[in-house]
Amino acid sequence: MLAELRIEDLRCIERAELSFCSGTNLIYGANGAGKTSILEAIFLLGRGRSFRTRLNERLIRHGQASFRVIGQTCSTSRLSHNIGIEVSRDATTLARLDGQTTRSFAELALAFPIQALDPDTHKLIEDSSARRRRWLDWLVFHVEHSFAQAWTRYQRALLQRNAALRSGLNDVGGWDLELAKQGEVMTAARAQVLLALQPYWRDLSENLLGVELSVIFQAGWDRSMSLSDALASNSSRDRDRRTTTIGPHRADVALRIEGKAAREVLSRGQQKLAAIALSLCQLEYLKSEHGLVPSLLLDDPSAELDQDRLGRFIRRVQALETQIIVTALDRNYRLFGEPKNVFHVEQGKVYRL
């Protein structure tokens, strides 16, 4: 869990220091005061990016050259980590873990597992496959330890192959061996973890949605053939389009109701419930099967939920017995019980009560 947080020049926040504890931590204030910015800062410590934008430089406070976020984590095993993120206007992101520069954001995820639910959670259902790949890969990373290395090596080979295709090079087969090898490892891990997640998904989706919603893994190529053969058979199309058109980087998690895409059937509120169920089933699976309980960020969680669904959601979150950091407009917000820490945010300034 997160114990200490320091923010410098992030969005509207010039300086802020907060201390958190296990259980519920409440951050309240008016719209635009900076509540969500604090959650973004926390999310950065565990993911290296915001949950609101992929461009970290957009978080820099107006007129400043960079922002900095520093946090200290602790766990029941008495392990603690110091994590620092600094982002400059040129989009350079520097991450440090216990004083050492990290080689990848995967190291942050191991040190500080974090999940977030915000008003745009429905985009997990509505948007492109990239969001759903990130959703799945975060879980796979924590379960299959070979996945991170395979993912990194695959991405490196993919960048090189695509650069060669853009330059008009006809023979790109030199990168296919590495792509195929690492891609098969990635895909097997993804498929295995999603299969293990199914019982948790069925229980949560039925409880929160009340409809039968299937979750189907799509590898990113026709798995009736190996990835090596698929790359070879698509080489001509890849040269024409100057990019690699098949592979794990095109994978998706398809959600369907009676064969139809969920986004075409579900209302906005139902899409949000489905996205919430996807995230919570990950947390329940990690706790039950692997003894891992990530911290949970909740940004205005009651929006668009009726009282019955909200009550079910609250009970599932409380059963996780994890650190919760929740934002609200009202100081008397008590949906998740009596908060142990309360912070008031006003015009970018944070006050502990």
Q: 40 to each of 48, 60, 292, 298, 326, how far by Cα in Å?
A: 10, 12, 22, 11, 12
Read off the pLDDT of residues 177-189 as tens digits, 9 standing for 90 and up. 999 999 999 999 9
Q: Are 74 and 103 in contact (CB under 8 A)?
A: no
pLDDT at 79: 78
* Residue that has been written with the tokens 């992030």 in this structure: 10
Q: Are 151 and 157 in contact (CB under 8 A)?
A: no
pLDDT of residue 97 exceeding 90, the answer is yes
Of the residues 291, 314, 339, the one at which a domain ends? 291
221 and 136 belong to one structural domain: yes
pLDDT at 78: 59
Reading the block at residue 341, the tokens are 């820490």
352 and 262 belong to one structural domain: no
CA distance 105 to 59: 18
128 and 250 belong to one structural domain: yes
101 and 125 belong to one structural domain: no
Average pLDDT, the chain: 93
Q: What average pLDDT score do residues 152-156 get?
A: 95
Phi, psi of 12, rounded to the nearest 5 degrees:
-90, 0
316 and 222 belong to one structural domain: no
127 and 244 belong to one structural domain: yes
pLDDT at 167: 93
**What's the first-to-final CA gap in the chain, in angstroms?**
21
Of the residues 253, 272, 291, the one at which a domain ends? 291
163 and 239 belong to one structural domain: yes
Q: Which amino acid is at 282?
A: Q
Q: Are 141 and 148 in contact (CB under 8 A)?
A: yes
Query: Percentage of the chain surpassing pLDDT 90?
Result: 84
pLDDT at 74: 87
Beta bridge partners of 80: 74
CA distance 287 to 264: 32
Of the residues 263, 291, 319, the one at which a domain ends? 291
Number of H helices, E strands in the chain: 11, 15
pLDDT at 75: 75
pLDDT of residue 129 exceeding 90, the answer is yes
Total domains in the chain come to 2
pLDDT at 291: 93
Read off the pLDDT of residues 45-67 as tens digits, 9 standing for 90 and up. 999 999 999 899 999 999 999 99
Q: Which amino acid is at 19?
A: S
Query: Where does the pLDDT of residue 104 fall: very low under 50, low under 70, confident under 90, or very high at 90 and above?
Result: confident
Query: Where does the pLDDT of residue 219 fall: very low under 50, low under 70, confident under 90, or very high at 90 and above?
Result: very high
Q: What average pLDDT score do residues 337-352 get?
A: 95
CA distance 101 to 83: 10
Q: At what angle do helices 268-290 and 176-208 cross, to 10 degrees?
A: 110
Read off the pLDDT of residues 265-322 as tens digits, 9 standing for 90 and up. 998 888 999 999 999 999 999 999 999 999 999 998 877 788 888 899 999 999 999 9
205 and 298 belong to one structural domain: no
320 and 269 belong to one structural domain: no
CATH number of domain containing 105: 3.40.50.300
CATH number of domain containing 161: 1.20.1050.90
- 101 SS3 class: strand
Q: Higher confidence at residue 227 or residue 211?
A: 227
CA distance 117 to 52: 11
**Cβ-count burial 307-330 (b if 16+ within 10 Å, e if not):** eebbebbbebbeebebbbbbbbee
pLDDT of residue 77 exceeding 70, the answer is no
Tell me the residue ranges of DSSP E strands in the chain: 2-10, 13-19, 24-28, 66-74, 80-88, 93-97, 100-101, 114-117, 214-218, 252-257, 260-261, 295-299, 324-328, 341-346, 349-352
Residue 277 DSSP symbol? H
CA distance 105 to 95: 8
Q: 48 to each of 43, 70, 94, 113, how far by Cα in Å?
A: 7, 12, 9, 12
Q: Are 80 and 73 in contact (CB under 8 A)?
A: yes
106 and 144 belong to one structural domain: no
Range of the domain at 106: 1-113+294-353
20 and 137 belong to one structural domain: no
134 and 71 belong to one structural domain: no
Query: Where does the pLDDT of residue 76 fall: very low under 50, low under 70, confident under 90, or very high at 90 and above?
Result: low
